[in-house]
Amino acid sequence: MDPFVPARLGPIELRNRIIKAATFEGMSSSHRVSDSLIEFHEAFARGLVGLTTVAYCAVSPEGCGTKNEIVVTDETQEGFARLARQIHDSKGKVSVQLGHAGAVATAAGLRGYSPSPIFSPVTMRRTLALTRAQIYDVVRDFGRATKILKDANIDAVEVHVGHGYLLSEFLSPKLNRRKDEWGGDLPNRARLARLVLEEVREQAGDSMAVIAKLNMVDAVSGGLGVPESIEVAKMFEADGNIDALVLTAGSSLQNPMFLFRGQVPLDEFAKNFKQPLRLGFRVFGKKFFRYFPYEEAYLLDLARQFRENLRIPLVLLGGISNVATIYKAMDEGFEFVAMARALLREPDLIAKYCDKLTSQSACTHCNKCMPTIYTGTHCVLVDPSARPGLALNL
């Protein structure tokens, strides 16, 4: 498979098999699409990425994971339509990641909802367990948000089923201790994610692609493991509601560095907090941000196990920075690759690959872009005057 020629993703056609993975932009303090956000994504489309992903957008206010993110409401439709027009003008396609933060909402100072209550060291309170009625509200919220995006001409939605956000909390035997039909065995724990995907497919219809980003493993003691995650992926495949599955891992709640690898930017993170949280961060941060060495394609071994067991299109993610890795992914049967930091470092990297100007990203995996999500996400090594989305008209 040639990664650099047009390819179908469900009902849509991409100009190649490269997806810009979600990197939360921090450019929406008014919860709307800003000019900076559009400019940020235009840079990837102009740089020949096949599909650029608008990072985490909440389906409801209580599903926010930070204060500066988009909540998809009718009021955001015009902004998304403008974003879609600009990306299409650059001959690109655009996806929007939809999620409910669950207990991660405590990071935004909210009480946080989860399958069963858990203690949050940020709010110093327990989260609230969703009632049955609230679970159905969540399903409807995903559907409503999808319809808004579809009407705005967005090409794809990516449902977040990873990183310890609400849908992945339901999958986790550790975080989901419910005794009703939403907890217990795997079919019960997977019920919410499957219902959400069914509703999203229903609203997306046959012109918009539907993607799920699923944790292969939580990498947390007692969390979702590989065998169960493969079973969940098989359920998604049998349900027929998704066009591709992005394979991720780790937990924003309990083991964030597992999904990034590389250096831990503790000091840079701490600067974003006021005392006494800053002190707490410095003291406990090392335990929370465990170090995992960075390797090229660090999720490939895990992802192979999914490839062996599934027929649906799979997206390989995690540490793809060399063009040879993209060809290797195709050789191993992955239909797409998703790249986050390599493209944040160089939005025109795919164009450079195509022109044979380079074969390797200049990203150093310093991870210092991570704390920039609070102020406008960027690679700290990029000259500020050349940064897309610099005009922070939030």
Ligand X SMILES: Cc1cc2nc3c(=O)[nH]c(=O)nc-3n(C[C@H](O)[C@H](O)[C@H](O)COP(=O)(O)O)c2cc1C
Residue 23 CB, nearest distance to ligand SF4 (Å)? 8
Complex with ligand SF4: residue 105 or 299, whichever CB lies closer = 299
Which listed option, ligand SF4, ligand X, none, makes contact with residue 300 (CB within 5 to 8 Å by class)?
none
Judged by CB under 6 A, the residue of 60, 90, 241, 248 near ligand X is: 248
DSSP 316: E
Residue 13 CB, nearest distance to ligand X (Å)? 23
The radius of gyration of the chain's CA atoms, rounded to the nearest angstrom, is 19
- Which window, 121-129, 216-224, 325-333, 362-370, contacts ligand SF4 (CB under 6 A)? 362-370
Complex with ligand SF4: residue 167 or 363, whichever CB lies closer = 363
- Which window, 40-48, 169-177, 299-307, 376-384, contacts ligand SF4 (CB under 6 A)? 376-384
165 is catalytic: yes
- Which window, 8-16, 101-109, 303-311, 334-342, contacts ligand X (CB under 6 A)? 334-342
x/- site string to ligand SF4, residues 313 to 342, per CB under 6 A?
----------------------------x-
Residue 162 CB, nearest distance to ligand SF4 (Å)? 20
Judged by CB under 6 A, the residue of 367, 377, 388, 389 near ligand SF4 is: 367
- Which window, 20-28, 31-39, 187-195, 302-310, contacts ligand X (CB under 6 A)? 20-28
> Quick one: three-class SS letters along the chain?
CCCCCCEEECCEEECCCEEECCCCCCCCCCCCCCHHHHHHHHHHHHCCCCEEEEEEEECCHHHCCCCCCCECCHHHHHHHHHHHHHHHHCCCEEEEEEECCHHHHHHHCCCCEECCCCEECCCCEECEECCHHHHHHHHHHHHHHHHHHHHCCCCEEEEEECECCHHHHHHCCCCCCCCCCCCCCHHHHHHHHHHHHHHHHHHHCCCCEEEEEEECCCCCCCCCCHHHHHHHHHHHHHHCCCCEEEEECCECCCEHHHHCCECCCHHHHHCCCCCCHHHHHHHHHHHHCCCECCCCCCCHHHHHHHHHHCCCCEEEECCCCEHHHHHHHHHCCCCEEEECHHHHHCCCHHHHHHCCCCCECCCCCCCCCHHHHHCCCCCCCCCHHHCCCCCCCC
Residue 121 CB, nearest distance to ligand SF4 (Å)? 26
Active-site residue identified among 56, 113, 165, 294: 165
Residue 185 CB, nearest distance to ligand X (Å)? 27
Which listed option, ligand SF4, ligand X, none, makes contact with residue 380 (CB within 5 to 8 Å by class)?
ligand SF4
Report the interface residues with ligand SF4, using CB under 6 A: 341, 344-345, 363-369, 379-381
Annotated active-site positions, please? 165
By CB under 6 A, name the binding residues for ligand X: 21-24, 55-56, 97, 160, 163, 213, 248, 259-260, 317-320, 339-342, 369-370, 373, 377
